[in-house]
Amino acid sequence: MVGTTLSPVNLRLISTTDYHRMAEIGILGADERVELIAGQIIQKMPKGPAHSALCKRIEKLLEYRLSNRVLVRLQDPIQLDTYSEPEPDIAVVRPDRNFYGDRHPTPDEVYLLVEIADTTINRDLGTKADLYATAGIIEYWVFNIPLQQLHIFRDSQPNGYQSQLILRGQQSASLLAFPDCAIAVQECF
């Protein structure tokens, strides 16, 4: 219809409880690659060989350097709030004697979240960075595969991260929570 103005769409946000229930009853299949972001079910992109290799390399580096001081989780959910349960590529969290068998880690238990990006770089540097900052994640890293860069986000505030760095090559970063754990960008690629 010409001249008709549409009213804004009212979204019904899906809670983490709804999301889990959808999986339990089969609305979401066990093999579906999705995550809950800000009350919306978002489809995850397929992982290529470079993504998988980089993810594994970083996981092993973190496990070797941090040993039993942390638990390194690979593509497992983090409970940010009532409406967000993302599955970052890597989460470095406080150890839990039950390995979080009864719940997912929450922001106060997270030392570092890592995303590996090739085709998802805009989402990881934008939407996910904002989401993690709002939730109070103290440190967030994005590895940009095509440019072989590491984007580091720190000083989370409700309106976003206040500190952002981009590192390349031999430049290295230490985790805020573990200053003795330095990782050079080049050793990850």
Q: At 122, which CATH number?
A: 3.90.1570.10
The pLDDT, as a whole number, for residue 31 is 84
9 part of a folded domain: no
The residue behind tokens 């003795």 is 180
140 part of a folded domain: yes
4 part of a folded domain: no
35 part of a folded domain: no
Coil, strand or helix at 124: helix
Q: Which helix (H) or strand (E) holds 17?
A: helix 16-24
Residue 47 has pLDDT above 60, yes or no: yes
pTM for this entry: 0.89
Closest to 186 measured CA to CA, from 173, 171, 174: 171
Query: Mean pLDDT of all residues in the chain?
Result: 92
Give the domain extent around 85: 47-188
| For range 176-183, the mean pLDDT | 95
12 part of a folded domain: no
The pLDDT, as a whole number, for residue 1 is 46
Q: Cα separation of 63 and 108, whole Å?
A: 20
Counting the structural domains of the chain, the total is 1
173 part of a folded domain: yes
Residue 3 pLDDT grade (very low, low, confident, very high; cuts 50, 70, 90): low
| Single-letter residue type at 33 | R
